[in-house]
Amino acid sequence: MTQIYDRVALIGLGLIASSMFWAIKRGGLAGEVTGYARSAQTRETARKIGLCDRICESAEEAVKDADLVVLCVPVGAMGGVAEQIAPYLKPGATVSDVGSVKAAVIQAVGPHIPEGVHFIPAHPLAGTEHSGPESGFATLFDNRWCLLVPVPGTDPAAMEHLRALWEGCGAHVDEMEAEHHDLVLAVTSHAPHLIAYTMVGVADDLRRVTDSEVIKYSAAGFRDFTRIAASDPTMWRDVFLTNKDATLEILGRFTEELFALQRAIRMGDGEHLFDYFTRTRAIRRGIIEAGQDTDAPDFGRGKVAR
């Protein structure tokens, strides 16, 4: 139990904020954690389940005297929240966020951060398809990456504190530059979500001809592949609107590969299909062997390939 901050404020009480709260409590990482959500119903639920030491009626009240303020709202709401809390931030405090896109958040939040307050964007690479204050759990960040995205002139001591908080929450911490982050995440997270949403849309379109059998008998492949299509629509709308260029670049490449496979199927080119699947299977297995598949079961002996 190492306390890193006296007071932490969480703004937006959904999956990530609630998981942060339970992880901070588990590690004894903060003296007090305050919380604020825009909707009265969310604040009520938070109080009921004991989320945060104190739920405040305004964002201003929540951030007052906080040493660390973490913005846990959808990416498109970050700028507005930053503007709202700016006059109430304590000198020397750190403002961070957990947004899935970084360049747009830096652009939206940065200008509102007052002189004497540190701004360190961050992104924990962990989540589920669930959302809201009741969806969080203390172990969400265990053995997952959290990327810190320092802006020019970032105070090294403030960085160390934030790094220690995320490590205390169970994460491995790395640093990455914003544009690079957005390109990497477009491949590993954003495009896959869009493709999963699309596949569910296709299944739904087919409902009329298959008499709902696609949904009723949805096989393991469909279920595994489309779990993430149950994710929050506001969050993902904002991700695509704010990481437009990188996502469109990756979707362009994806479409080219898809067309090549489509052509191989039409032409009966089994060799092309076999070679492609052999190569991609090796890559996927390599991810597991490198221990980067943090969902693979761990029986206390390191990651076990599935």
Ligand X SMILES: O=C(O)C(=O)CC1(C(=O)O)C=CC(O)C=C1
Ligand Y SMILES: NC(=O)c1ccc[n+]([C@@H]2O[C@H](COP(=O)([O-])OP(=O)(O)OC[C@H]3O[C@@H](n4cnc5c(N)ncnc54)[C@H](O)[C@@H]3O)[C@@H](O)[C@H]2O)c1
CB of 130 to ligand X, least distance (A): 8
If the CB atoms of residues 174 and 275 are measured against ligand Y, the closer one turns out to be 174
Q: Are strands 118-124 and 145-148 parallel, antiparallel or unpaired?
A: antiparallel
Q: Which is nearer to ligand Y, 58 or 210 (CB)?
A: 58
Strand order in the sheet with 94-97: 54-55, 30-36, 5-11, 68-71, 94-97, 118-124, 145-148, 172-175
- Exactly one of 4, 29, 30, 37 binds ligand Y (CB under 6 A); that residue is 37
Q: With binding defined as CB under 6 A, does residue 121 bind ligand Y?
A: no
Asked if 119 and 151 count as a contact pair (C-beta separation under 8 A), the reply is: yes
Question: Which among ligand X, ligand Y, none contacts residue 189 (Cβ within 5 to 8 A by kind)?
Answer: ligand X
Site membership for ligand Y, residue 247 (CB under 6 A)? no
The alpha carbon dihedral of 210, 216, 219, 222 has a sign of positive
Return the C-alpha torsion angle 170, 175, 179, 185, nearest 10: -30
Closest CA to 115 of 73, 86, 78: 86
Instruction: Determine if 167 is a binding residue for ligand X (CB under 6 A).
Output: no
Secondary structure class of 76 (helix, strand, coil): helix
Identity of the residue, 24 or 73, whose beta carbon is nearer to ligand Y in the bound complex: 73
Total of chain residues touching ligand Y, rule CB under 6 A:
27
76 sits near ligand X (criterion: CB under 6 A): no
User: How many angstroms separate the CA atoms of 291 and 288, rounded?
Assistant: 5
Asked whether position 132 contacts ligand Y by CB under 6 A, the answer is yes
Q: How many CB atoms lie within 10 A of CB 73?
A: 25
CB of 185 to ligand X, least distance (A): 7
Please tell me what DSSP assigns to residue 212.
T
Q: Is 293 among the residues that bind ligand X (CB under 6 A)? A: no
| 228 scored as a contact of ligand X (CB under 6 A) | yes
User: CB under 6 A: which stretch of 61-69, 127-135, 267-275, 285-293 binds ligand X?
Assistant: 127-135
Using CB under 6 A, which of 32, 129, 232, 269 touches ligand X? 129
Contact between 189 and ligand X per CB under 6 A: yes
Q: Which positions lie near ligand X, rule CB under 6 A? A: 100, 125-129, 189, 228, 231
